[in-house]
């Protein structure tokens, strides 16, 4: 009975703020079902806002967006993952831009495209310090030197990813300078400009020099900040609000314990509300006894161990709450996702993407 309300107007307003801050076009990151918000609806709303580039985790996410009609050509979709050889034909079939992280992938892509008499658009990934995907600048240079021998490959961009753009500014600048030097050398030697992108949400806020030709906002689009640094803020609004219904009310006496392991005991007579949401909906068990919910604009503490399908809330000794009332677990009318995630010992990215498939998404 939990429901995730998705306010696409907030998403579009956030996109405008980010674009104004960065001063360059956006590649909207809509991987992981748009951070739990619903990739199809999110992509359509951002496309209507004039965004023409989208980033996803893998070819499967890309195909879903392309075939469902949300992102028809010419909207560009870049898959961030390094492809398996067997996946390359799908990039060609659906017009998906491919990340190239090694010479073998470049050669395999050329062979597939040549056989089809077509062209595959690629973005070269340079590893400047993330240590996840991509080639070192020296190795990436070798790949670029192979490009003239790959007539069916179109280089559409060069990019890197920052490892710690919200906290370690010195390391981020080191990555930034390595990327700038690499792309500058290539553009000078080749006599051509190439689309360069590096800045994620953290770098959009912390490193004005990292914007290059395009930025890749993710968490910021959805109304959350990548860190709690008060200086790295933008007036973005939450796009998701998770609510659930009060399904049961009871009055307990002093000494009554609530939920598994009896971790909470009533100090006196209390009214306890049971709410139909639990860790199977994405409301982390680690929040037990640490969270609050909002019912009818009043904040109440969650008590006892969070269970798979329900949580319990202490309403005090008097309450106007009734069965069927809506409880806001987090969102624009309640605790923000960043704060709730912090109490759970995690980050807003994980909290949002943990909202499970059984939680109904409703666009409002």
Tell me which of 72, 250, 260, 265 is the catalytic residue: 260
Per-residue pLDDT tens digits for 142-196: 999 999 999 999 999 999 999 999 888 899 999 999 999 999 999 999 999 999 9
Percent of all residues in the chain with a pLDDT value above 90, rounded to a whole number: 96
Q: How confident is the model at residue 49 (pLDDT cuts 50, 70, 90)?
A: very high
Tokens of 232: 């790295």
What's the mean pLDDT when you consider all of the chain?
96
- Catalytic (active site) residue 186: no
Long-range Cβ contact pairs of 102-106 (< 8 A, separation 24 or more): 102/135, 102/139, 102/143, 103/142, 103/143, 103/146, 106/143, 106/146, 106/147, 106/150, 106/153
Instruction: Check residue 167 and give its pLDDT.
Output: 83
Query: What is the pLDDT at residue 168?
Result: 81
pLDDT attached to residue 66: 97
Task: Evaluate whether 3 touches 360 at the Cβ level (below 8 Å).
Answer: yes
pLDDT at 230 over 90: no
Of 85, 31, 33, 86, the closest CA to residue 58 belongs to: 31
Q: Of 21, 31, 159, 237, which is the active-site residue?
A: 31
Residues 247, 274 contacting (CB under 8 angstroms): yes
The 10s digit of each residue's pLDDT in 81-112 is 999 999 999 999 999 999 999 999 999 999 99
Give the residue, 167 or 130, on which the prediction is more confident. Answer: 130
Is residue 159 annotated as a catalytic residue, yes or no?
no
Structural tokens at position 219: 């968490």
**Is the pLDDT at 322 greater than 80, yes or no?**
yes
The average pLDDT across 330-356 equals 97
Question: Residue 1: its pLDDT value, please?
Answer: 81
Say what the pTM is.
0.95
As a three-state string, the secondary structure of the chain is: CCEEEECHHHHHHHHHHHHHHHCCCEEEECHHHHHCCCHHHHHHHHHHCCCCEEEECCHHHHHHHHHCCCCCCCCEEEECCCCCHHHHHHHHHHCCEEEECCHHHHHHHHHHHHHHCCCEEEEEEECCCCCCCCECHHHHHHHHHHHHHCCCEEEEEEECCCCCCCCCHHHHHHHHHHHHHHHHHHHHHHCCCCCEECCCHHHHHHCHHHCCCEECCCCCCCCCCCCCCCCCCCCCCCCEEEEEEEEEEEEECCCCEECHHHCEECCCCEEEEEECCCHHHCCCHHHCCCCEEEECCEEEEEECCCCCCCEEEECCCCCCCCCCCEEEEECCCCCCHHHHHHHHCCCHHHHHHHCCCCCEEEEC
């Amino acid at each position: 009975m939990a429901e995730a309300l998705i306010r696409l107007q907030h998403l579009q307003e956030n996109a405008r703020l980010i674009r104004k801050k960065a001063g360059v076009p956006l590649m909207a990151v809509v991987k992981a079902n748009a951070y739990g918000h619903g990739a199809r609806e999110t992509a359509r709303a951002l496309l209507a806002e004039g965004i023409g580039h989208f980033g996803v985790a893998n070819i499967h996410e890309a195909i879903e967006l392309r075939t469902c009609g949300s992102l028809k050509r010419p909207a560009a979709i870049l898959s961030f993952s390094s492809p398996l050889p067997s996946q390359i034909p799908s990039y060609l079939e659906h017009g998906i831009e491919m990340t190239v992280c090694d010479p073998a992938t470049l050669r395999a892509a050329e062979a597939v495209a040549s056989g089809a008499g077509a062209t595959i658009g690629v973005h070269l990934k340079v590893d400047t310090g993330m240590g996840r995907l991509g080639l070192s600048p020296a190795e990436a240079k070798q790949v670029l030197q192979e490009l003239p021998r790959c007539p069916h490959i179109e280089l559409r961009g060069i990019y890197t990813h920052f490892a710690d753009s919200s906290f370690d500014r010195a390391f981020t600048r080191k990555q930034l300078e390595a990327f700038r030097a690499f792309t500058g050398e290539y553009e000078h030697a080749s006599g051509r400009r190439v689309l360069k992108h590096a800045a994620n949400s953290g770098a959009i806020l912390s490193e004005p020099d990292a914007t290059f030709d395009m930025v890749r906002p993710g968490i910021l689009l959805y109304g959350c900040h990548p860190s709690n640094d008060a200086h790295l803020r933008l007036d973005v609004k939450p796009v998701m609000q998770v609510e659930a219904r009060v399904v049961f009310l009871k009055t307990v006496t002093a000494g009554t314990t609530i939920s598994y392991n009896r971790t909470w005991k009533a100090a006196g007579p209390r009214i306890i509300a049971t709410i139909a949401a639990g860790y199977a909906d994405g409301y982390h068990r680690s929040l037990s006894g640490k969270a609050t919910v909002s019912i009818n604009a009043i904040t109440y503490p969650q008590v006892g161990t969070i269970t798979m399908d329900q949580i319990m809330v202490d309403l005090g000794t008097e309450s106007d709450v009734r069965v069927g009332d809506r409880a806001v677990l987090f969102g624009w009318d309640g605790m923000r996702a960043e704060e709730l995630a912090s109490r759970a010992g995690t980050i807003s990215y994980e909290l949002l993407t943990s909202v499970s498939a059984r939680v109904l998404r409703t666009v409002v």
